[in-house]
Amino acid sequence: MTAEMSFRRSSYLTLAIASSALAQAESIFFPEMALFVVPVLMALALAYVFDGRWAMSNLWANLIGLGISIGFGVWIAHQLVHFQARHGIVAPWWVMIMPFFGPVLMVLMLVKLFQPKKLQDYWMLHFIGLMQVILGCVLASELYFGLLVLAYLVSGLWTLVLFYQARGVDQQATTMLVLRRDSPARPARPVRVLRSLGWAACAGMLAFLLFLVTPHLGDDSWDPFTLSNHRFLITGIGSGMDLNRVGSVRTSDRPAFVVSMRDTLGRPRVDLGLEEYWRASIMSTYDRGRWFSRTQTQLAHELQWGKIPLRPGPLADLGSAQYFATFTVDTQKVGVLPLADPVALPEDPYRPTAEVLTGVTGPGPLFRPLDGTLVQSAFLVPGEYVYRQVTVPAPVPGYGPNMERATLPLETYLQQPVRGIETFTFDLVRQLRDAGKLPEGAIAFERDGAVMIAPEHGLAVGRILADHLARSGQYSYTLNLRRQDVFLDPTEDFLCNVKAGHCGRYASALTLMLRSLGVPARVVIGYHGGEPTDEPGVFVIKQNQAHSWVEVLALEHGDAVRCRWVRLEPTPADDGNRNSNSLWATIRKWSVESWYNYLLDYDTSRRNELFGDLATPMQESWQHVQDSLAEDPTNPAGWLELSRWLALPALLLLGWFLWRRRRGTAKKSRRALSRPVLACYHRLLRVLGQRFGIAPQRGQTPLEFAAAARTHLLEAGLPGALVELPEQVVGLLYRVQYDRELPGADECAAMDQRVAELEAALQPEPSI
């Protein structure tokens, strides 16, 4: 196969991979891209088949291009209206239109493919392909995209090499230098894909190393969901919750915060932490797939009107059962300040249950009570905060503090704007009632298909619904979020169609279902669990332990005045790791974690961790050497340690020295072996010069000189064997000088002997 044919084949392959990669990246914005890319790939295959046989005229190509441009313009304008609402993206318009370029690029590529094209036009085609991949890099978040980019790298480099070869062949096609048949050169052979695989591996490793060592400007990573570089970790805590997002949820094993648990006497509480809940934000308002907490402006208003004391006193005394949790939180990583659950509410507003120890805060306390819990009342300055909380164990796990029902804005916790969820919930409740799973009298009334639950049964119904979501088997846990009907509300789509998701979807669904039944409920975002450290009573909570759950408002013993928030857990167990011991699952997990940790979420702190880990053992080892030798210079252990340090450079030096020596020896030996041939040649020159007065002229090569000498020898009437001798000597010389082929000593000696014979034959006969 010629270089040009190989190049064309690899070109189409590369373009197909680029289009697939872009379609994969765009799928989080346009799930229909999976369908769109199929005709694109088919058109690519058609273009490959018809390449060189048929092409559209430029006029038609331009007309089609114009039509497509107008069509896409209308489509973009139409989509852009709904795009922001559909995806919840708040970004400048020029950023928001980026996903729309994907289909445009694909169609543009096809138009260019079917146009008449010369070899140089492939630059433009591959530029479009590269643009597709770059756009994909901006929009992508999944590992599959990374795999496609790897394939693109291999195929792209292969194409680049073949393109270079095809251009070279094309250039020689017009006026060609003719290569002699017996010459040791051959028309350039098309490079095989395996070689480009090697180059891709080499380039990939070097580029990745450069990427790892490059300083980053901060801890902000690009978030393709929001098309901005403001950090938002789905497995961490942000200022809100967006259920419109699809794709794989990033997992991060980075520490989120550290908490130290001690009792009144300062003794560590080692019995806590593992099953502890840490609450961070309360989500009360739902709007088109997004949850919001009660606004900071409301807190600022209350602060202004004196409802929040500006100068709180010491921490409240909660009795002998109280214990203290001291948190160390970097708000650059977490965003909000978590508290241990349950949160004890202060009876005296001037005696809070949480206080800041270090950290920059605004006026007033760091936390203040709101709707039966403590919430952060000040705007945070990014940095590390250390604060302390006093609390007591809940009487029943999951039960919040007792409070007056009248103090709550119930209309907020009953807000439910999605009609589809109402219908779904009513149907479900009726099914549960028919199945006898609801307690007697749970349904307060039923009219026109609507169902209302009696307030005293709210908690029980909530538990039944949570149990239905978590254990009915109809719903499953996954971090790979997808949508089925993008025109539905995402929570409704989850409940009715997708039936798989992470804790955020379940918490959102249960909350809206309860609200549909007239039961106040809310979503709580925080963390669940923790890992003990070497220090007793100190726990580290990681980003991937972020969690969300539901709190339902339960009446206190049927009392309509007193109530408390009770935690419900609707999320099913993560059974996605059932086969986690298999090799494939291990590789997949490792790949996904590496993809996020060392590429998408790689930042300054990760870089410091990575290179700090590498540097620390070396620093410690070197320090150990220094200390050992400083203490006792005669200590052999110290010297042994030092020799380990010096071994590697010494080995490198030795290797370099041996390599140089070997190279020098080879050169010397080649020079030594070529010396007899040169001597033979110079002897021939001397003989010919003495007898015929000839010598190589300026610009005359040895071979040309040999041909001239042959004429003289012929005229001198020498036998044929001696006539051929100059050309044979020069042939030997060329073998040494050009071909680096070293003749044997016997061959040199034989040639020298023949030159001696020539010299003897050319000796003038003695006069008698």
Partner 1 sequence: MSTASATSDARPDQPARLTGRDHFTRPGRYWLLAAAVLWLAGVSKGMNVITLMSYLMLVVWGLNLCVAGRRFGNLYVRTLRTLPAAVFAGESFPIEIEVANRGNRTIEGVQIELNGASCFVDLQPGNATFQASATPKERGWYYLDPVQVRSGFPFGLVERRARGADIDGILVFPALGELDYERLLHALPPSAGQEGLRPRRVSGRDDFHGLRDYRPGDSLRSVHWRSSARRGNLLVKEFDDRSARDLVLVLDPFVPGSGKTAGELARGELDCEQAVSLAATLCYHWCQHGGSRLVLAIGGAGGPLIVAAEAEPGQATLFLEALALAPGSDQVDIDPLIEQLADQLPRAPVLLVSSRPQGLAEELSRRLGREVLHCHAGDGLAADCYRPPHLFEEDRA
Q: Across-strand partners of 551?
A: 522, 567
Which of 168/393 has CB closer to partner 1? Answer: 168
Over the window 505 to 544, marking each residue x when it contacts partner 1 by CB under 8 A and - when it does not, the resulting string is ----------------------------------------
Q: Does 118 bind partner 1 (CB under 8 A)?
A: no
Q: Does 608 bind partner 1 (CB under 8 A)?
A: no
Q: Which two tokens stand for residue 625?
A: 């050497």
d(CA 69, CA 63) in angstroms, rounded, equals: 10
Q: Does 114 bind partner 1 (CB under 8 A)?
A: no
Q: Identify which range of 163-171, 279-287, 573-581, 610-618 contacts partner 1 by CB under 8 A.
A: 163-171
Residue with tokens 């040649």: 681
d(CA 120, CA 741) in angstroms, rounded, equals: 42
Q: Does 602 bind partner 1 (CB under 8 A)?
A: yes
312, 350 Cβ separation under 8 angstroms:
yes
Q: Does 191 bind partner 1 (CB under 8 A)?
A: yes
Q: What is the DSSP letter of 228?
A: B
Sole binder of partner 1 in the list 1, 59, 185, 573 (CB under 8 A): 185
Which of 557/740 has CB closer to partner 1? Answer: 740
- 744: number of Cβ within 10 Å: 9
| Closest listed residue to residue 688, CA positions, set 658, 662, 726, 721 | 726
Q: Does 1 bind partner 1 (CB under 8 A)?
A: no
Q: Does 201 bind partner 1 (CB under 8 A)?
A: no
Q: Does 246 bind partner 1 (CB under 8 A)?
A: no
Q: Does 662 bind partner 1 (CB under 8 A)?
A: no
Closest separation in Å from C-beta 103 to partner 1: 21
d(CA 220, CA 198) in angstroms, rounded, equals: 34
Angle between helices 583-595 and 143-174 (to 10 degrees): 80
d(CA 17, CA 9) in angstroms, rounded, equals: 13
E strand or H helix that includes residue 704: helix 702-715
Which of 409/743 has CB closer to partner 1? Answer: 743
Q: Does 335 bind partner 1 (CB under 8 A)?
A: no
Residue with tokens 């146009």: 115
Sole binder of partner 1 in the list 1, 59, 177, 768 (CB under 8 A): 177
Q: Identify which range of 204-212, 523-531, 578-586, 759-767 contacts partner 1 by CB under 8 A.
A: 204-212
- 87: number of Cβ within 10 Å: 22
Q: Which two tokens stand for residue 734?
A: 């060329």
Which of 286/596 has CB closer to partner 1? Answer: 596
d(CA 198, CA 568) in angstroms, rounded, equals: 55
Sole binder of partner 1 in the list 484, 626, 701, 711 (CB under 8 A): 701
Q: Give whole-number Cα distances, 19 to 112, 155, 409, 733, in Å.
A: 14, 13, 52, 58
Sole binder of partner 1 in the list 186, 311, 447, 557 (CB under 8 A): 186
Q: Does 119 bind partner 1 (CB under 8 A)?
A: no
439, 536 Cβ separation under 8 angstroms:
no
Closest separation in Å from C-beta 745 to partner 1: 21
Which of 348/704 has CB closer to partner 1? Answer: 704
Burial annotation 520-543 (CB, 10 A radius, 16+ → b, else e): bbbbbbbbbbbeeeeeebbbbbbb
Q: Does 92 bind partner 1 (CB under 8 A)?
A: no
Burial annotation 244-259 (CB, 10 A radius, 16+ → b, else e): bbbbbbbbbebbbbbb
Q: Give whole-number Cα distances, 687 to 695, 710, 714, 726, in Å.
A: 10, 13, 15, 11
Sole binder of partner 1 in the list 169, 234, 550, 729 (CB under 8 A): 169
Closest separation in Å from C-beta 690 to partner 1: 19
d(CA 408, CA 345) in angstroms, rounded, equals: 14
Which of 180/557 has CB closer to partner 1? Answer: 180
Q: Identify which range of 48-56, 381-389, 435-443, 697-705 contacts partner 1 by CB under 8 A.
A: 697-705
Q: Across-strand partners of 375?
A: 368
Q: Does 578 bind partner 1 (CB under 8 A)?
A: no
Q: Identify which range of 201-209, 350-358, 527-535, 717-725 contacts partner 1 by CB under 8 A.
A: 201-209
Over the window 740 to 759, marking each residue x when it contacts partner 1 by CB under 8 A and - when it does not, the resulting string is x-------------------
Q: Does 650 bind partner 1 (CB under 8 A)?
A: no
- 621: number of Cβ within 10 Å: 13
Sole binder of partner 1 in the list 1, 93, 94, 184 (CB under 8 A): 184
Q: What are phi and psi of 370, to 5 degrees?
A: -155, 120
Sole binder of partner 1 in the list 171, 480, 591, 619 (CB under 8 A): 171
Which of 569/601 has CB closer to partner 1? Answer: 601
| Closest listed residue to residue 291, CA positions, set 80, 477, 505 | 505
Q: Does 584 bind partner 1 (CB under 8 A)?
A: no
Closest separation in Å from C-beta 733 to partner 1: 10
Which of 176/646 has CB closer to partner 1? Answer: 176
453, 461 Cβ separation under 8 angstroms:
yes
Q: Does 94 bind partner 1 (CB under 8 A)?
A: no
Task: DSSP for 538-604, please give it.
Answer: EEEEEGGGEEEEEEEEEEETTEEEEEEEEEE--PPP--TTTTTTSHHHHHHHHHHHHHIIIIIT--H
Over the window 442 to 481, marking each residue x when it contacts partner 1 by CB under 8 A and - when it does not, the resulting string is ----------------------------------------
Closest separation in Å from C-beta 682 to partner 1: 12
| Count of residues engaged in binding partner 1, rule: CB under 8 A | 70
Q: Does 220 bind partner 1 (CB under 8 A)?
A: yes
Q: Identify which range of 109-117, 155-163, 236-244, 318-326 contacts partner 1 by CB under 8 A.
A: 155-163
Closest separation in Å from C-beta 183 to partner 1: 4
Tell me the three state secondary structure of residue 120.
helix
Q: Give whole-number Cα distances, 646 to 35, 621, 626, 643, 700, in Å.
A: 61, 13, 14, 5, 57
Is the Cα torsion angle 453, 455, 460, 466 positive or negative in sign?
positive
Which of 484/604 has CB closer to partner 1? Answer: 604
Sole binder of partner 1 in the list 603, 727, 752, 757 (CB under 8 A): 603
Sole binder of partner 1 in the list 13, 15, 125, 133 (CB under 8 A): 133
Q: Does 639 bind partner 1 (CB under 8 A)?
A: no
Sole binder of partner 1 in the list 481, 600, 748, 758 (CB under 8 A): 600
Sole binder of partner 1 in the list 38, 45, 202, 406 (CB under 8 A): 202
Sole binder of partner 1 in the list 210, 310, 435, 768 (CB under 8 A): 210
Q: Does 121 bind partner 1 (CB under 8 A)?
A: no
Q: Which two tokens stand for residue 348?
A: 């005296």
Sole binder of partner 1 in the list 70, 85, 90, 179 (CB under 8 A): 179
Question: CA angle, corner 550, sides to 546 and 554, nearest 5?
Answer: 145
Please return the burial class of 652, using the count of CB atoms within 10 Å of its CB with bins 0-12, 13-18 and 19+.
Answer: exposed
Q: Does 175 bind partner 1 (CB under 8 A)?
A: yes
Closest separation in Å from C-beta 741 to partner 1: 9
- The footprint of partner 1 (CB under 8 A) covers 123, 130, 133-134, 137-138, 140, 146, 149, 153, 157, 160-161, 163-165, 167-169, 171-172, 175-180, 183-189, 191, 199, 202-204, 206-208, 210-211, 214, 216-218, 220-222, 229, 599-603, 696, 698-702, 704-705, 734, 737-740
